[in-house]
Structure 1
Amino acid sequence: MSAIETKLAELGVALHDAPAPAANYVPYVVSGNMVYVSGQISADVNGLITGKLGADLDVDAGADAAKACAISLLAQLKAACGGDIDRLVRVVKLVGFVNSTADFTDQPKVINGASDFMVAALGDAGRHARSAVSAASLPLGVAVEIEAIFQIK
């Protein structure tokens, strides 16, 4: 087991197989030492995590949805690295989209669910630049979608 996967196991997380794309795109692109991962939607073992922040879900539920996206991002990274996730140098950037009402303003607190998880799992290599924005709706009604840029060796 890799060092990163060992740390994930300590956190009670096992990486699942990387989700297949749902449309005409690729799940990631490797260019030089950078990996660009397509947006991962909020889902867990029970299926899609749906709802609108500010109406159906509170900030804690949104943060859990964002953490689920982060786990899928790492699963895609592992696939991009041919199974060797320890090739990760750092998380460069996360861009998070939050399905929220017009008056909801805690998008950063929701995306903290992903950011906090990346730092807990990866230490300083998990610290990253970030955007957290509202969306009137997201695919399939999911609560959160996050894309990422990673540096690898």
Structure 2
Amino acid sequence: MNMIIKSTLIVVTAITSNFSLANNISPDFLLNEIDISYKKYVYSSLEVGIYAMESVIRLQESDRSSELLHKTGPASLALSYLRLGLLYEKLGLNKDADKVFYKAVTSYKSQVTDSENVSLIELKKFVVGIDASIAANKNSNKDT
């Protein structure tokens, strides 16, 4: 009986999320979701961070309109993949990390540049640098 209820809930959730994703996503909504996911990535447990990053990736993948890319930046999806991969690595889920790192590099190449080769190491350094810069700015704002 419990299995039937769980299965039904999963189906209802999937249908509901598909209907909501079928509509265009506003740039402001997506930017807010990215911000929330980033905060979960930084300040929550690894599991909560993974859930948040997976959710925002689904949103980013559902609508790749030029309006959203202009507002969020073409590398936003790649950065989300990279952050998800870093969380997987911290949990020792290396196969999962490798899959999303591949998606990060592929997404970055297709959205930002198709002539330039970019390595995973370069992208990881870039994301770690951005995250450190954001953390430093937040800490300096607290001091003032």
Which is strand-richer, 1 or 2?
Answer: 1
Tell me the TM-score normalized by structure 2. 0.34
Larger CA Rg, structure 1 vs 2: 2
Q: Greater RCO between the two (CA within 8 Å, min separation 6)?
A: 1
